[in-house]
Amino acid sequence: MSSFDPVAATMLASSFFARPTALVARELLGCVLARRVGGVLTAGVIVETEAYLGADDAGSHAATKGITARNRVMHGPPGRAYVYLTYGAHHMLNLVTEEEGAAGAVLVRAIEPVAGLEAMSRRRGGRTGPELTNGPGKLAAALGIDLTCNGAPLGGDLAVYAGDHVPDPCVE
């Protein structure tokens, strides 16, 4: 019963991502990231995100003066997946934010698996536990995210849903 139900959940529309990156990153916390591959549904609650504004963030790939093939997706329309391979062995799942023309993306650093645990564990080489998706590269591998998902629009095999009850954010 702990399984995630995409039918009852509300999928986040592109308008949700067409907002300030920092805000989207914060709002994404608690949301459910769902991935469907070969009819197998895997999903996890986003527990940690990192906002990458782009031009102002030196760590972002968009820190360069112009738009490169890699940052291209960042500058594109929101509500799309930006998959990036780093260290030659790990994929990073980013969600493009801001409206088209503005660079922005949110890196999903960690999620808590709620559905398709077996599939995730299987992809992780039989590993289990919180370490399944306790890291950027881990969650991408667990969800089966690869470079083929780069630039893929959300709503298909990859989508983000709002939790049944989003906790009231305490203003700090």
Among 44, 113, 137, 144, binds DNA (CB under 7 A): 137
Choice from 4, 16, 17, 84 touching DNA (CB under 7 A):
84
Applying CB under 7 A, the span of 2-10, 14-22, 37-45, 87-95 interacting with DNA comes to 87-95
**Minimum Å distance from CB 52 to DNA?**
6
**Whole-number minimum distance, CB 81 to DNA, in Å?**
12
What single letter denotes the amino acid at residue 135?
G
How many CB atoms lie under 10 A from the CB of residue 76? 18
What mask, x for binding DNA by CB under 7 A, covers residues 25 to 54? ---------------------------x--
Among 12, 32, 34, 105, contact with DNA (rule: CB under 7 A) = 105
Q: At closest approach, how far in Å is the CB of 164 from DNA?
A: 28
Distance CA 84, CA 107 (A): 10
Q: How far, in Å, are 29, 89, 101, 102, 108 from residue 136 at the CA level?
A: 15, 12, 26, 24, 6
In three-state secondary structure terms, 135 is: coil
Nearest-angstrom CA–CA distance, 46 and 98: 19
Q: Which spans in 117-171 are helix H?
A: 117-123, 136-143
Which range touches DNA (CB under 7 A), out of 10-18, 22-30, 34-42, 89-97?
Answer: 89-97
Verify binding: residue 152, DNA, rule CB under 7 A: no
